[in-house]
Amino acid sequence: MIHYCIRKLLTMIPVLLGISIVAFALGKLSPGDPAIEALRRIAVEDPTAEQIEAMREEMGLLDPVPVQYGTWLKHALSGDLGESYLDGTPIGAELLRRLPVTVRLSLLALFWTLLFGLSGGICMAWHQNSAADKVLSGVAVFLLSIPGFWLAIFAIILFSEILHWLPTSGIDSWRSYLMPSLVLAASNIGVTARLTRGSLLKEMGQHYALVASSKGLSRRSVLTKHAFRNSLVPVVTLVGNYFGGILGGSAIVESIFAVPGIGKYALDAIYTRDYLVIQGYVLFTGATFVLVTLAIDLLYAVINPKIRLEGGVR
């Protein structure tokens, strides 16, 4: 188990480095000359060639690219992601300030995914091939096919404008999180329910489940005591992927519901061409995702006895 954890920690390092390279490259690819932008910010509207050259020198833009990457990474690791072109606020601090909102939203969406996805999947497997199974399967396909932003528009019309149950935007109270998190979870609920159903039925068909039921265990006990735990393994493996999808997708939801998270920050930055913010957003989201995936991998080790007892599979 300890070997497994150490290996997981070690494989994380190249991934984090790779993400930082992608983020750095995105910044390099952005149109516009950072030196001219920097001069504009200190109110030099029409810089001369010498001024630009001096600024490039000062900003280290004349160094070889790997050196620039090194400097950038050193700053990024100490939390310095540069300043917003728009108002000069430090980007790292702003991202940190907004991160809890996005994480809260994403974790709540993950919670709905597991709650409704697992219970829906169990219900479908339990009533296999019945009307309930067919209806729920239909709902699952519906949820995973519907465009999230379209669903969000309908949800706002129905729950905010017609019924006046929930606020349309902002994060004034826990109720503000309900609609965005459910919209964010919708497609993943569909995927999880289908996966759980398939996985559970597969386990119920395995020899150990047959043995258990031939010993006289009721179908309910076989399902809850034996099959369910095993059927969780493929589901948990994918939870990391869902979280990635949720974290990325939260930008769209944040923009529709005006939730002040990091996704909204990045989208607003795109409209104002604030490229450093986009760069910071990629780095931040990537790092958050990798850390959460690591946590899930460790959880996976606890659930999967193959890893817990033998110290690793494959």
Query: Residues in the site for another protein, rule: CB under 8 A?
Result: 11, 14-16, 18-19, 21-22, 26, 29-31, 128-129, 141-142, 144-150, 153, 157, 161, 197-199, 201-202, 204-205, 244-245, 247-249, 251-252, 255, 263, 266-267, 269-271, 275, 278-279, 281-282, 285-286, 289-290, 293
The 10 Å Cβ neighbour count of residue 230 is 19
Q: Which is nearer to another protein, 35 or 151 (CB)?
A: 151
Q: Which is nearer to another protein, 182 or 292 (CB)?
A: 292
Distant-in-sequence, close-in-space partners of 170: CB < 8 Å, separation ≥ 6: 176, 257, 258, 259, 260
Least spacing, CB of residue 19 vs another protein, in Å: 6
- Coil, strand or helix at 38: helix
The 10 Å Cβ neighbour count of residue 7 is 13
Q: Which is nearer to another protein, 58 or 205 (CB)?
A: 205
By the 8 A CB rule, do 177 and 168 touch?
no
Least spacing, CB of residue 194 vs another protein, in Å: 9
Least spacing, CB of residue 46 vs another protein, in Å: 25
Provide the 8-state DSSP code for 83: B
Q: Which is nearer to another protein, 39 or 194 (CB)?
A: 194
Q: Which is nearer to another protein, 47 or 261 (CB)?
A: 261
Q: Which is nearer to another protein, 181 or 285 (CB)?
A: 285
Q: Which is nearer to another protein, 219 or 308 (CB)?
A: 219
Beta-bridged to residue 83, according to DSSP, are 90
Whole-number Cα distances in Å, 233 to 172, 230, 239, 246, 260: 37, 6, 10, 20, 35
34-37 contacts, C-beta under 8 A, 24 or more apart? 34/59, 34/61, 35/59, 35/61, 37/85
- Nearest-angstrom CA–CA distance, 189 and 83: 38
Least spacing, CB of residue 306 vs another protein, in Å: 18
Least spacing, CB of residue 229 vs another protein, in Å: 18
Q: Which is nearer to another protein, 171 or 251 (CB)?
A: 251
Least spacing, CB of residue 286 vs another protein, in Å: 5
- Coil, strand or helix at 129: coil
The 10 Å Cβ neighbour count of residue 187 is 22
Taking the CA atoms of 124, 125, 126 and 128 in sequence, report the sign of the dihedral they define.
positive
By the 8 A CB rule, do 98 and 261 touch?
yes
Least spacing, CB of residue 183 vs another protein, in Å: 12
Whole-number Cα distances in Å, 77 to 210, 236, 262: 54, 31, 18
Least spacing, CB of residue 299 vs another protein, in Å: 18
- Coil, strand or helix at 185: helix
